[in-house]
Chains A and B, each alone.
Chain A
Amino acid sequence: MSIGEATSEQTPDSTRMRWRRSGGAALVVRGLHRAVYPLLGVAVLLALWWYGGHLIASDPATESFAGFGPGPTFASLADLIRSGQLWGIAYPSLHRIGLGLLWATVLGVPIGVSIGYFRVAQETTHIPFQFLRMISPLAWMPIAVLAFASWDGAIVFLIIVAAIWPIIFSTAHGVKRIDPLWFRVARNLGAGGGQMLRRIILPAIGQDVFAGIRLAVGVAWIVLVPAEYLGVTSGLGYAINDARDTLAYNDLAAIVVVIGVLGYALDRICLFLIQHFSWRVEL
C-alpha cells in the first residue's frame, strides 16, 4: 500500500488542542482573568450582606437580630466546624438526599429510556407525567407522612418525587436525540436488544442522564430543607428551626451559608460528571 495521507485530511483544530499548545504563563494569566468576575460577584454579595447586617444592628428596633450579619455568622460557622457539630448536622441531610437521588435515578432512567425509545410509552405517559410533575413535592407531605412508618422514609419519598421528573425527561430527550444511523450500524453488526442498550443507548445518553440528575439535585435540595422542618430531629432543616426557636440567629445564618455551599458543591459534582460522560464536541 502506498497511499500517503492526503494534505486535505488535516485534523481540525479543537479548542482543547490550542489550549495545550499555549504556554504555562499564559495559562495562569488567563486563569486569573477568568477568576476576576466570579470573585467580584461574591464580593458584591458579601458587601450587600454586610450592609444589611449593619442596618439591622444599628436600628434599636431590630438590634436583637444582629446575629444575621456576616461577622457573627462566620464566627458561628467557625465554631460549628471546630466543634465537629457541622458534620453531625449536614450528614443526615446528605444521606437523605443521596438515598432519594439514588432511587430517583434507579427508577427514572429505565422509565426515561422507555419513553424515549417507544413512541407508545411516550404517548401514554405524556399527560399523566406532566400532570404529576406540576404538583409541588411538598403537597405530597401529608400523604407521605401517613404512608411511611418513619419520618426519614417520608422525606426520602418527597425527594424522590421531586427528583424523578427531571431525570425521566432528560433521559428520554437524550434517547430521542440518538442518531438513528448508530442503531443501523449496530443492527448491521447483528446486535440484539441487550447489546443495543449497553453499547449504543447507555453510552449515548450518559451526559443527558447526569444533566437530568443535576436539575434533580437543584430541586431536591430545595425540597429537602422544608421537609426537614417536620418530624425529624436531625439535618439542616431541623437545625434551622432549632436555631430559630433558641433565638441563635448567628447559628441560623451559618446553617443557611452551609446549605448554599453544599448545594453549590453538589452542583459542581454533577457538572463534572456531565463533562466526564460527554462525547459531544461543544462541551
Chain B
Amino acid sequence: MSGFLSLDRMGIVFETRNGPYRALQDVDLRIAQGEFVTVIGHSGCGKSTVLNIVAGLLRATEGGVLLENREVNSPGPERAVVFQNHSLLPWLTVYDNVRLAVDKVFRKTKSKIERDEWTRHNLRLVQMNNAADKRPSEISGGMKQRVGIARALAMEPKVLLMDEPFGALDALTRAHLQDALMTIHADLGNTVIMITHDVDEAVLLSDRIVMMTNGPAATVGKVLSVSLARPRKRLSLADDTEYNRCRADVMKFLYRQTETDDPRAA
C-alpha cells in the first residue's frame, strides 16, 4: 500500500484548565489514493481531532501528516472538509456558498464562465441544481449536507474529509446520501476519510474501517479491510456473509471498548 496520505505516530495534547490532556497518542495510518476509509469509535475518543489535524485546523503535538510526501501544517482546499452541519453561510444562496469555494480555489486558473459552469456542475452532482437560488434556511438538513458535499467536491480536493456528515439526518435521508456518496466516489475516485459512529454506514461505504480506542490517549485499535465488491447495494448486503462478518467485527470491538471503560469491569 503506497503512502499517498500518511499519519505518522501522531499525538496531541490539549492544555486545559485542569492541566494537559492527552487526546491522541501514536495514531499511525497509511491511506492509498482513491481509498475510502472510515474512522469509527465511541464519542469523545478523538475521531474528529484526527480529522482536524489532517485538515490542518489543529496541529499535532508529536508526529504529523504527510500528503504526497509533503508535510501538512496549515489548512488548505486540497483537504476539503464536509462539516457535520450548519456549515453553510446563511446569508448566501446555495449557489453562492459553492461559488465562494470555487472562486477561492480557481480564481487564477479558471475563467468566470468556467467557474460558473463548475459550480453548477457540482450542484448537479448532488442533485441540488434546482435549489441553487434558495437560502440555507429554506432547505432541509439533508439538502444542506448535499450542498456541503458539493462545496467540498468543487474544491477538487486530493482528500475529502467528512466529519460525521450524516449524523444529524433521519434514516431515509441518510440512506439516500450514502448512495449518492458511493456513486460520486465511484465516478471521481476521491480519497475519503470519513468519521462516523454508525457501524452499518462504516461497513457499507469503506474499503477499510479504522477502529479507535477510547480516550484519553486514544489510538488506532484495529483496522478492518472490507472486501465487498463495488458497486454495493444495501438491500442485497443484508444477507451477505462478508458484510455481516465485518459488521460483527466492528460491533465486537466497540462493545469491548465499553467493557474496558466500565470501572466495575476493571
Q: How large is the interface on B (under 10, 10 to 19, 20 to 34, 35 or more residues)?
A: 35 or more
- A279 and B87 in contact, given A9-B173, A188-B81, A189-B155 (Cβ under 8 angstroms): no
Chain A: minimal CB distance from B52 (Å)? 8
Query: CB distance A12 to B135 under 8 Å?
Result: no
Partner of A190, one of B104, B170, B173: B104
Query: CB distance B87 to A14 under 8 Å?
Result: no
Tell me if B223 counts as interface (CB < 8 A to partner A). Answer: no
Partner of B179, one of A3, A184, A185: A3
Look across to chain A and name the residue whose beta carbon is closest to the beta carbon of B128: A5
Tell me if A134 counts as interface (CB < 8 A to partner B). Answer: no
A3-29 interface (Cβ within 8 A of B): 3-12, 14
Look across to chain A and name the residue whose beta carbon is closest to the beta carbon of B74: A190
Tell me if B125 counts as interface (CB < 8 A to partner A). Answer: yes
Query: CB distance A189 to B100 under 8 Å?
Result: yes
B105-150 interface (Cβ within 8 A of A): 105, 125, 127, 134-135, 137-140, 142-143
In the bound complex, CA of A195 to CA of B101 (Å): 12
Query: CB distance A190 to B57 under 8 Å?
Result: no
Tell me if B153 counts as interface (CB < 8 A to partner A). Answer: no
Tell me if A191 counts as interface (CB < 8 A to partner B). Answer: yes
Return the CB mask of A156-189 against B: 1 if under 8 Å, else 0.
Answer: 0000000000000000000000010110110111
Tell me if B192 counts as interface (CB < 8 A to partner A). Answer: no
Query: CB distance B57 to A14 under 8 Å?
Result: no
Partner of A9, one of B89, B104, B140: B140
Return the CB mask of B76-117 against A: 1 if under 8 Å, else 0.
Answer: 110111010011011110000000110011000000000000
In the bound complex, CA of A189 to CA of B86 (Å): 16
In the bound complex, CA of A184 to CA of B138 (Å): 23
In the bound complex, CA of A7 to CA of B91 (Å): 26
Query: CB distance B77 to A204 under 8 Å?
Result: no
List the A side residues contacting B75 at CB < 8 Å. Answer: 187-188, 190
Look across to chain A and name the residue whose beta carbon is closest to the beta carbon of B161: A188
Chain A: minimal CB distance from B53 (Å)? 13
In the bound complex, CA of A206 to CA of B91 (Å): 10
Query: CB distance B83 to A185 under 8 Å?
Result: yes
15 contacts across the A-B interface (CB closer than 8 A): A1-B183, A3-B176, A6-B173, A6-B176, A8-B173, A9-B176, A11-B140, A182-B89, A185-B87, A185-B89, A187-B75, A188-B79, A190-B104, A204-B89, A206-B91
The 9 closest A-B pairs by CB, nearest first: A279-B91, A6-B176, A9-B142, A187-B75, A279-B90, A281-B137, A9-B140, A189-B104, A3-B180
Starting from the known contacts A3-B183, A7-B172, 20 additional A-B residue pairs (CB-CB under 8 Å) come to A1-B180, A1-B183, A3-B127, A3-B176, A6-B142, A6-B176, A8-B140, A8-B142, A9-B176, A12-B138, A184-B81, A184-B87, A188-B80, A188-B81, A189-B101, A195-B104, A200-B89, A203-B89, A204-B89, A279-B91
Q: Contact residues of A with B, CB < 8 Å?
A: 1, 3-12, 14, 179, 181-182, 184-185, 187-191, 195, 199-200, 203-204, 206, 279-281
